[in-house]
């Protein structure tokens, strides 16, 4: 169906806290639903559960002992997992890896470490490629920074004008530039030359480029971004929470120069990553067959949802990540009506996209239940017409 002209705007900068996916117990109680009776498509994690060995590893953790504040064993496992026969035969050096309580903790560490304290009188600025994950803006506002955004333009299929973005970075001279790749919630995946253009522009003004790769493991044939760390002004963020369905544990890491990693670590409180999470991370990395299986499940379910929702008249945008942006018209209405049926999707209004929902990928059987629920609502007069 034809796409009408639309304005893609930023989320409300006055919002108190970033909005996230996930089902809230208070809402379940208000709807009279039990956790075991609902499906959560609002969060985007691996759809195949945890890797083999994770639960056994956690059972062997001594809960009376303090966790390793430096996460040495996990960093060693991460280093081994990032080997490359030509580029990194011995993995990534340990002093370039920082483990956090989810990659979101590291976003807040970056804001604290590289943005001026408001009491200093200096006004650092941050540049975001939007619409995107709300925690970048939330963390930087807490640090007292001014936030500038580069929105996608109409008719661009959610792709930014990278020349314009680079020019604005050179003009505005931000301390930090954040880009999510693949982007949340649009699923757009930038190629190396596009990210390098942002890194070059940031380097010219003495800024850092933060590339959030939380969904990278679900990309089919991604390019190797680890070499960007050698530039000295690039930080890569990755999420084991999403990669291995460790949502309840919170686990992520950054790859950056030794200097940046030391600075971030100096702002991190000891024991922010608990012993259960560290043990689970080591066990997850040992299951080397896991991520290929997860990618295969994601691709199968994405294909099914794209076909079935398209048949119902929805515009489903291609996504390199483990979620799909879908144009439905009134996103809040669709989200609330699906929730009443025990199906939770992400309303993208908080991203500045009030006509879109984001559907995280679950098992094929769960996706079939979602399609059935959407079809039943499509025929309900109370839901109203689709966007067209």
Quickly state the pLDDT bin for 155 (edges 50, 70, 90).
confident
Q: Does the structure show a pLDDT above 70 at 26?
A: yes
Mind listing the pLDDT tens digit for each residue in 263-300? 999 999 999 999 999 999 999 999 999 999 999 999 99
Is the pLDDT at 381 greater than 80, yes or no? Answer: no
pLDDT of residue 387: 52
- Phi and psi at residue 149, to the nearest 5°: -125, 145
Q: Residue 382: its pLDDT value, please? A: 59
pLDDT digits (tens, 9 = 90+) for 77-91: 999 999 988 788 889
Which of 92-106, 152-166, 249-263, 359-373 has the lowest average pLDDT? 152-166
Contact 271, 67 (CB under 8 A): yes
pLDDT at residue 12 above 90? no
Q: What percent of the chain has pLDDT over 70?
A: 91
- 3-state DSSP of 265-334: HHHCCCCCCCHHHHHHHHHHHHCCCHHHHHHHHHHHHHHHHHHHHHHCCCEECCCCCCEEEEECCCHHHH
Instruction: State the Cα–Cα distance between residues 305 and 132, nearest whole angstrom.
Output: 23
pLDDT category of residue 1 using cuts at 50, 70 and 90:
very low
Q: Cβ–Cβ contacts within 10 Å for residue 304, how many?
A: 16
Contact call for residues 251 and 273 (beta carbons, < 8 A): yes
Tally of CB atoms within 10 A around 173: 16
The two tokens of residue 85 are: 């026969």
Contact 216, 238 (CB under 8 A): yes
Residues 6+ apart with CB under 8 A from 322: 44, 45, 46, 47, 215, 218, 242, 298, 302, 360, 361
* Whether pLDDT at 9 is above 90: no
pLDDT band at 173 (very low <50, low <70, confident <90, very high): very high
pLDDT single digits (tens) 208-247: 999 999 999 999 999 999 999 999 999 999 999 999 999 9
Residues with Cβ < 8 Å from 35, sequence gap 6 or more? 23, 25, 28
pLDDT score of 100: 98
Model pTM? 0.92
With vertex at residue 20, the alpha carbon angle to CA 209 and CA 329, rounded to the nearest 5 degrees, is 105
pLDDT at 123: 56
Residue 97 predicted with pLDDT over 80: yes
SS3 145: coil
Q: Which domains does the chain have, with CATH numbers?
A: 25-48+290-378 (3.90.1150.10), 54-286 (3.40.640.10)
104's enclosing H/E stretch is helix 103-114
pLDDT of residue 68 exceeding 80, the answer is yes
Return mean pLDDT, the chain.
Answer: 91
In tens, the pLDDT along 334-363 reads: 999 999 999 999 999 999 999 999 999 999
d(CA 244, CA 119): 41
Average pLDDT over residues 170-182: 97
DSSP 213: -
Q: Taking 70 as the threshold, does the pLDDT of residue 121 lie above it?
A: no
Only one residue has tokens 């890797």, namely 51
Which of 6-20, 58-72, 138-152, 167-181 shows the lowest per-residue confidence on average (mean pLDDT)? Answer: 6-20
């Amino acid at each position: 169906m034809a796409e009408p002209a639309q304005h893609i705007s930023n989320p409300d900068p006055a919002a108190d806290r970033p909005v996230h996916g996930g089902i809230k117990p208070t809402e379940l109680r208000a709807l009279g639903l039990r956790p075991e009776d609902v499906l959560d498509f609002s969060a985007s994690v691996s759809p195949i559960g945890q890797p083999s060995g994770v639960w056994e590893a956690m059972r062997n953790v001594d809960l009376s002992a303090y966790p390793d504040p430096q996460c040495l064993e996990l960093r060693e496992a991460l280093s081994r997992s990032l080997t490359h026969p030509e580029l990194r035969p011995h993995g990534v050096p340990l002093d370039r890896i920082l483990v956090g309580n989810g990659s979101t903790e590291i976003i807040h560490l970056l804001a604290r470490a590289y943005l001026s304290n408001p009491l200093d009188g200096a006004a650092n600025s941050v540049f975001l490629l939007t619409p995107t994950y709300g925690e970048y803006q939330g963390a930087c506002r807490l640090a007292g920074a001014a936030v500038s955004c580069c929105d996608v333009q109409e008719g661009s299929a959610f792709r930014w004008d990278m020349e314009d973005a680079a020019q604005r970075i050179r003009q505005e001279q931000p301390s930090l530039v954040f880009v999510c790749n693949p982007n949340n919630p649009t699923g757009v995946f930038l190629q190396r030359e596009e990210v390098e253009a942002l890194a070059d522009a940031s380097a010219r003004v003495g800024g850092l480029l933060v590339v959030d790769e939380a969904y990278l493991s679900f990309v089919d044939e991604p390019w190797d971004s680890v070499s960007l760390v050698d530039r000295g002004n690039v930080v890569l963020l990755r999420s084991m929470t999403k990669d291995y369905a460790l949502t309840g544990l919170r686990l992520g890491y950054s790859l950056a120069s030794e200097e940046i990693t030391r600075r971030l670590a100096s702002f991190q409180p000891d024991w922010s990553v608990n012993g259960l999470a560290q043990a689970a991370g080591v066990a997850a990395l040992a299951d080397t067959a896991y991520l290929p299986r997860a990618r295969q499940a994601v691709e199968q379910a994405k294909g099914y949802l794209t076909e079935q929702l398209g048949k119902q008249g929805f515009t489903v945008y291609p996504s390199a990540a483990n979620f799909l942006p879908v144009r439905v018209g009134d996103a809040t209405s669709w989200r609330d009506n699906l929730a009443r049926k025990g199906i939770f999707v992400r309303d993208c209004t908080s991203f500045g996209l009030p006509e879109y929902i984001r559907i995280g990928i679950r098992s094929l059987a769960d996706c079939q239940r979602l399609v059935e629920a959407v079809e039943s609502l499509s025929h309900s007069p109370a839901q109203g017409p689709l966007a067209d």
